């Protein structure tokens, strides 16, 4: 923060204090040094912005003494009677803006809205949780919107970029790490030297004209280098040891896999291996499908967005535009003591694709019935409720809680109770890992089988789990590495990002390819069914 370079990319571990230690001071610096400018804050989706980003921003601002309704307003223009200044470029719609006392505005930008940055002239940009951002969209839409203004000529932070994230573990977030190659270490060393020189000069400074001129010249030189400097930094939890304490680090080391501990806690960069179970999975298999008009549900009578209501609202399928409402939903499931999962897709056999449109998980003692209820609640607005349910031999075994039902019977019962027409399709013994990998790999490479496509935002945990799924050799031969499943659930290694959920997707994929239910729905079944 002392270096205060114009461009900053920071990788910081969990519990380091990214929001209050980096994001908030940087935002306030930009707002106060460039009044009446547009200081963008970008998120991957409005859902993320409404439920996580904005509440965290406002909470941190309150802790720093800046109060909503006094220093700034969110989702609306400040009342005229308060005489807030206006920005140089006035928004037509204030509903996604913060309006500050000095005329600065902070547009909340979401990547799930096509070209959401295109109409803006941004003075600065800040991105939190940067590993979730789509870099192609940043390049095409956001970076070109950063426009230096004559009003701020001479300010070293005109056009500033700040992106902060914990260590990315998915391929889609690796773009941040490539930014380290943009840093000129010699330039940073010069800037450090000048700042130290200024410090010592001020220590011995008198009030003479000579010293004031020397300080002014040195500050001008420092700001010149700040404007040119690109800083890439990495912080591990050890940089915050005095705050979090030694026991926190010991607990994380005990509870996490070594890989998770090294990335989430120690900010250690792990290299991806080509031998991952879904090694052909890449950015080209992801897509966005949000209908931003769903935000109209949260408009108040004055036309602004009710962010408090939106942050407390559970979203449903009305925000998704990738659902073919004339076709059934297809699901695959996984169940065990730590987590229960449903993965939702729709095959398009003419286009030779399987769109994975959503995922549902429950944990913490919640059972199969609860994840089914979550599915039903989310898709309750659909006019036609048909679902094809694929399951393998593992769902013929065990019991769900205290019930005598088999697992597949529980799913069928709950879905039917909620008004769904259910078509259960038994796919037999689960396919061997090595054979299943070949079938999935061929689809990912567009060689045969349906090509997978994933809704980037609805399937975020599934994508992380798939990108990090490794392989191992066991007594059964070559298979998916599932050793992580035995570790306790934690914030740093959530169970919903492990291989459990990938097994649910595997079932869906194998079912859609080899047990086509479209025949069954038209009265001709090639599937094996159980009673």
> What DSSP assignment string belongs to 364-398?
TT--HHHHHHHHHHHTTT-SS-EEEEEE-GGGGSS
Long-range contact list for 444-449, CB < 8 A, 24+ apart?
444/278, 444/280, 444/281, 444/285, 445/280, 449/513
Q: What share of the chain is helix, strand, coil (3-state, %, to 5)?
A: 40, 20, 40
Query: Residue 329 in 3-state DSSP?
Result: strand
Query: Residue 300 in 3-state DSSP?
Result: coil
C-beta neighbour count of 71 within 10 angstroms: 18
Query: Which residues fall within 8 angstroms of residue 515, CB to CB, at 6 or more apart?
Result: 390, 425, 427, 526, 527, 528
Query: Residue 421 in 3-state DSSP?
Result: strand
Phi, psi dihedral angles at 509 (to 5 degrees):
-65, -45
What are the tokens at 73?
């307003």
Report how far residue 204's alpha carbon sits from residue 226's, in angstroms, rounded to the nearest whole number.
24
Structural domains present in the chain: 7-184+229-235 (3.40.50.300), 283-521 (3.30.420.280)
Query: Residue 447 in 3-state DSSP?
Result: coil
* Closest CA relative to residue 329, chosen from 523, 508, 501, 515: 508
| Global confidence as pTM | 0.68
Q: What is the pLDDT along the chain (531 residues), one digit of tens a residue?
A: 899 999 999 999 888 888 888 888 999 999 999 999 999 999 887 777 777 777 777 888 888 899 988 999 988 899 999 999 999 999 888 878 899 999 999 998 888 776 667 678 899 999 988 888 888 889 888 999 998 888 898 899 999 999 999 888 777 788 898 899 899 999 999 999 999 999 988 887 677 788 888 889 999 999 999 999 999 999 988 888 888 888 988 888 887 777 778 887 888 776 554 568 898 898 889 988 876 666 666 766 665 566 667 666 677 898 888 999 989 999 999 998 889 999 999 999 999 999 999 999 999 878 899 999 999 999 999 988 999 999 999 998 765 545 578 999 999 999 999 999 999 999 999 888 889 999 999 999 998 899 999 998 899 899 989 988 888 877 777 788 888 878 887 776 788 888 999 999 999 999 999 999 876 665 433 343 433
C-alpha of 447 from chain center: 30
Number of H helices, E strands in the chain: 18, 17
Tell me the three-class secondary structure of 258-273, residue by residue: HHHHHHHHCCCCCCCC
Query: Which residues fall within 8 angstroms of residue 531, CB to CB, at 6 or more apart?
Result: none
519 and 525 Cβ atoms separated by less than 8 Å:
yes
Q: Tell me how long the chain is.
A: 531
């Amino acid at each position: 923060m002392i270096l205060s370079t114009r461009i900053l990319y920071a990788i910081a571990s969990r519990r380091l204090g990214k929001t209050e230690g980096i994001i908030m001071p940087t935002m306030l610096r930009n707002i106060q040094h460039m009044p009446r400018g547009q200081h963008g804050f970008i998120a991957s989706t409005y859902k993320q912005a409404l439920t996580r980003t904005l509440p965290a921003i406002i909470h941190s601002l309150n802790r720093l003494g800046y109060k909503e309704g006094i220093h700034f307003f969110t989702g609306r223009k400040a009342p005229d009677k308060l005489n807030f200044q206006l920005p140089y470029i006035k928004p037509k719609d204030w509903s996604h803006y913060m309006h500050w006392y000095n005329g600065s505005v902070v547009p909340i930008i979401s990547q799930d809205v096509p070209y959401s940055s295109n109409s803006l002239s941004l003075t600065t940009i800040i991105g939190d949780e940067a590993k979730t951002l789509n870099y192609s969209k940043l390049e095409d839409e956001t970076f070109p919107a950063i426009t230096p203004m004559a009003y701020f000529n001479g300010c070293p932070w005109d056009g500033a970029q700040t992106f902060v994230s914990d260590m990315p573990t998915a391929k889609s977030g690796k773009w941040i790490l490539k930014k380290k190659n943009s840093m000129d270490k010699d330039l940073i060393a010069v800037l450090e030297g000048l700042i130290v020189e200024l410090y010592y000069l001020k220590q011995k400074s008198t009030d003479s004209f000579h010293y004031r001129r020397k300080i002014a010249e040195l500050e001008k030189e420092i700001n010149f280098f700040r404007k040119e400097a690109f800083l890439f930094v990495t912080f591990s939890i050890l940089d915050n040891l005095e705050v979090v304490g030694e026991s926190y680090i010991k607990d994380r080391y005990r509870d996490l896999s070594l890989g998770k501990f090294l990335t989430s806690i120690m900010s250690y960069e792990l290299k991806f291996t080509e031998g991952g179970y879904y090694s052909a999975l890449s950015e080209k298999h992801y897509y966005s499908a949000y209908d931003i008009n769903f935000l109209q549900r949260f408009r108040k009578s004055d036309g602004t967005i009710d962010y408090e209501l939106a942050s407390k609202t559970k979203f449903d399928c009305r925000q998704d535009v990738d659902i073919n409402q004339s076709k059934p939903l297809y699901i695959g499931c996984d169940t065990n003591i730590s987590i229960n999962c449903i993965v939702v897709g729709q095959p398009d056999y003419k286009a030779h694709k399987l769109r994975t449109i959503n995922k549902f998980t429950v944990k913490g003692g919640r059972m199969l019935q609860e994840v089914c209820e979550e599915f039903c609640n989310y898709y309750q607005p659909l006019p036609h409720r048909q679902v094809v349910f694929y399951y393998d031999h593992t769902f013929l075994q065990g019991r769900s809680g205290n019930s005598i039902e088999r697992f597949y019977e529980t799913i069928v019962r709950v879905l039917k109770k909620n008004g769904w027409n259910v078509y259960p399709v038994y796919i037999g013994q689960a396919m061997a890992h090595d054979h299943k990998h070949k079938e999935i790999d061929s689809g990912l490479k567009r060689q045969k089988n349906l090509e997978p496509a994933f809704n980037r935002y609805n399937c975020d945990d599934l994508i992380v789990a798939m990108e990090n799924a490794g392989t191992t050799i066991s007594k059964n031969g070559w298979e998916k590495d599932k050793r992580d499943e035995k570790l306790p659930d934690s914030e740093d290694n959530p169970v919903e990002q492990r291989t459990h959920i990938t097994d649910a997707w595997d079932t869906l994929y194998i079912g859609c390819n080899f047990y086509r239910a479209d025949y069954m729905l038209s009265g001709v079944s090639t599937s094996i069914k159980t009673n």
